[in-house]
């Protein structure tokens, strides 16, 4: 038995944190959660690869952490509220992380928001975008 495709998978540019992603991302998210403590942040920054071995995540997940591959982290089961603790560890803002996920500079992202944000036009469904 396997999961049927979910309707929300048709939303472009979005990884819904569902039960399957939560299952795959459990140890990845536990790692992000550990960064809430200052001593853990320091230990991680001192030797990132070594610190990551404490968490039984996949090599692909470890690699995405080391590369700060923000969208990949979402795809592999990270949840944004947890992932952002890595951005904070890097002394970056939430808006910086969002801009990196979007693929623009932080300044461009902030300007887009101040101009009213991203319109739904063209972003409602993947099937619509292909059409």
Partner 1 sequence: MARIIAGIGTSHTPAIGAAVDLGKTAEPYWVPLFKGYEPSKKWMAETKPDVAIVVFNDHVNAFDFKIIPTFGLGCAAEFPIADEGWGPRPVPIVKGHTELAAHMVQSLVLDEFDMTIVNEMQVDHGLTVPLTLLFGQPKAWPVRVIPLAVNVVQYPAPTGHRCYALGRAIKKAVESWDEDLNVVIFGTGGMSHQIQGPRAGLINKKFDTAFLDGLAQNPERLASIPPLEYLRDAGAEAIELVMWLIMRGALGPNVREVYRFYHVPASSTAVGHIILEAA
Nearest to 24 by CA among 49, 71, 57, 64: 57
- Which two tokens mark 4? 């049927």
Asked if 78 contacts 100 with a C-beta cutoff of 8 angstroms, the reply is no
Applying the rule CB under 8 A, the residues between 110 and 129 that interact with partner 1 are 112-114, 116-120, 123-125
Report, in Å, the least distance between residue 53 CB and partner 1.
Answer: 20
Applying the rule CB under 8 A, the residues between 78 and 97 that interact with partner 1 are 79-82, 84-85, 88-89, 94-95
The region, left, alpha or beta by phi > 0 then psi within -120 to 50, assigned to residue 96 is alpha
Per CB under 8 A, residues contacting partner 1 are: 7-8, 10-19, 22, 26, 29-30, 32-33, 35-36, 71, 74, 79-82, 84-85, 88-89, 94-95, 98, 101-103, 109, 112-114, 116-120, 123-125
């Amino acid at each position: 038995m396997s999961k049927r495709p979910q309707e929300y998978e048709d939303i472009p540019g979005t990884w819904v944190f569902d039960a399957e992603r939560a299952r795959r991302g459990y140890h990845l998210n536990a790692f992000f959660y550990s960064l809430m403590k200052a001593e853990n942040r320091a230990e991680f920054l001192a030797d990132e690869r070594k610190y990551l071995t404490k968490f039984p995540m996949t090599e692909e997940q470890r690699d995405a952490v080391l590369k700060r591959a923000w969208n990949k982290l979402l795809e592999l089961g990270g949840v944004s509220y947890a992932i952002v603790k890595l951005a904070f560890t890097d002394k970056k803002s939430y808006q910086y992380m969002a801009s990196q996920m979007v693929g623009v500079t932080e300044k461009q992202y902030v300007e887009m928001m101040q101009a009213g944000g991203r319109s739904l036009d063209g972003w409602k469904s993947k099937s619509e975008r292909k059409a």
